[in-house]
Amino acid sequence: MSLDKLQIIPLGGLGEFGMNCCAIRYGDHILVIDAGLMFPDEELLGVDIVVPDIGYLVENREQVKAILLTHGHEDHIGGLPWILTELRDVPVYGTEFTLAYVEGKLEEHKLLDDTEMLEMIPGEQFQIGPFRIQPIRVTHSLVDCVSLAIHTPVGTILHTGDFKVDLASPDGHPFDLQAFAELGRNGGVLALLQDSTNVDRPGHTPSELAVRPRLDEIFGRTKKRLFFSCFSSSIHRLKLAFELADKHDRKVAVIGRSLDNSTEIATDLGYIDIPPGILINGGQIKDYPPEKVCVLISGTQGEPMSALSRAAVDNHKHARIEPGDTVLLSSRIIPGNEKGIFRMIDHLVRRDANVIFDDGTQGIIHVSGHASQEELRLMINLVKPKYFIPVHGDYRHLKRHAELAASTGIPKQTFLLEDGDVLELTRDSATRRDKVRAGRILIDDGSTADVVDDLVIRDRRHLSEAGLLLPILAINKLTGLVEGAPEIIARGFAVPDPSILTEARQVIARTLDASSNEEKGDYGVIKEKIRTDLKRYIQKNTSRRPLIMPVILEI
């Protein structure tokens, strides 16, 4: 690459929510911003997680100098074990809290000892090759989050990460307006990559403190146990729950591994100050009067094996929900999770629990961590970008965001990029180049080794929709003759008429009769002939296309 050119190469997070990953390249130096995962939709049967295809980074592994993490949400750090498995010896930079989350994740995948983790401190700049990195404090639904101003010989690239403008953050670390304004005063940034999540929402996103009055009211009027559920990463919300429990004289039990882990990390790092004597373990819940207990419990999204889902069907060792108890879901309903959440709520209502969730009618019990339209405009006005690139969202969000940026009249040009696009910048120009390899990698069972290709997904979908037929033949290996009538086993294939399977056996018999001894001796050939003839017969008589897998047994 020419040293007067800089490349921005998104590898994930543009055209989908999640899987955020972006490469910044100057000469022989590549920085990677974020390494997220995406949870699969219903079509990806059996897939555990989805991570970005980093083929471009693997091809240029010697040039990859660092991975910079904006914050600790799964859609920004969840793909890190996969990426580090492919790219060895790459240092990982993050804030103190983000690295605490990363540490547990890398330890789980046995990568911790081989990974260099370096702390970024908001406001303190550091150098990586030709890049001068300036982490800037932003507010979000998680603590210790940063935007990254990357000063290069060509100009400054600003990647906002996830953010909203909260000047009264409960952790005492407000959004750093001054640092962004300073970027604008110093000539503006060359390119702004901005979070598109809430671009459809007018106005401003409420402060995290906006939920306190309603939650305080719920704590005050709840007569029996209060089961409080929120995202495990909502450290502000957990802090508030402890404060309100202390105010209303309730003991607190933390139920669920993810919540327990987040509470422990946040307490160790000083983000949560648990009042003395307030914390009890799950086994002690029954020892206190119901009106003296608050249970922090994981499972806001109705995950089948979460603590709240199991408690909803009376299948949890410690969390027992009784008539009159209140269950508060202080979170939003993530699109795609509606069915599981409402099924869980139905179970809770059957137990005569009072369920409070974010349906728009029960006051403010949850606020977003992403900037709405006016905050997005504010950021653009503060940093005065020459070029604008929306990131983090489906294509319709990116399109709407580009229109919003253009309406400010500030960016000289906006670019709607997708994963794999290459935007090449000089001080005075921006040009699209040929795409690089990008896409998604499907992983089973959370293991970085169990990669699933699209052919496997196609077969799983085929099985789920049409079922399976197993024609079984026994062939005498001495004589080459078929012993007995062929058997057909059907799984997931509803047979409309039993005579169809009888006729299918005859189809197989006719195929065998029409085959030469040489064909019968080649199991690969005879299997394919049986599959083809049987497929034609089944499709003609049932209009269905089950997966057909002939099995030949030698006897």
Annotated binding site for Zn(2+): 71, 73, 75-76, 140, 162, 392
Among all chains, which residue has been given the structure tokens 């990974």? 115
Q: How far apart are CA 415 and CA 411, in angstroms?
A: 10
Amino acid, single-letter form, for residue 346: D
Q: Which residues are annotated as a binding site for Ca(2+)?
A: 46, 48, 444
Q: What is the DSSP letter of 38?
A: B
Look up residue 37 and give its two tokens. Answer: 């995962």
Q: Which residues are annotated as a binding site?
A: 46, 48, 71, 73, 75-76, 140, 162, 366-370, 392, 444
DSSP letters for 217-240: HHHHH--S-EEEE--TT-HHHHHH
Q: Which residues are annotated as a binding site for substrate?
A: 366-370
**Beta strand pairing call for 547-548 and 226-229:** unpaired
- Residue 112's alpha-carbon distances to 19, 67, 80, 88, 511, in angstroms, are 21, 15, 11, 12, 58
253: buried, middle or exposed (CB in 10 Å: 19+, 13-18, 0-12)?
Answer: buried
What is the total residue count of the chain? 555
Q: What are the residue numbers of the active site?
A: 195, 370
Start-to-end C-alpha separation, the chain: 65
Q: How far apart are CA 66 and CA 53, in angstroms?
A: 17
Look up residue 452 and give its two tokens. Answer: 């699933």
Residue 294 half-sphere exposure, CB side, CA atoms within 13 Å?
A: 27
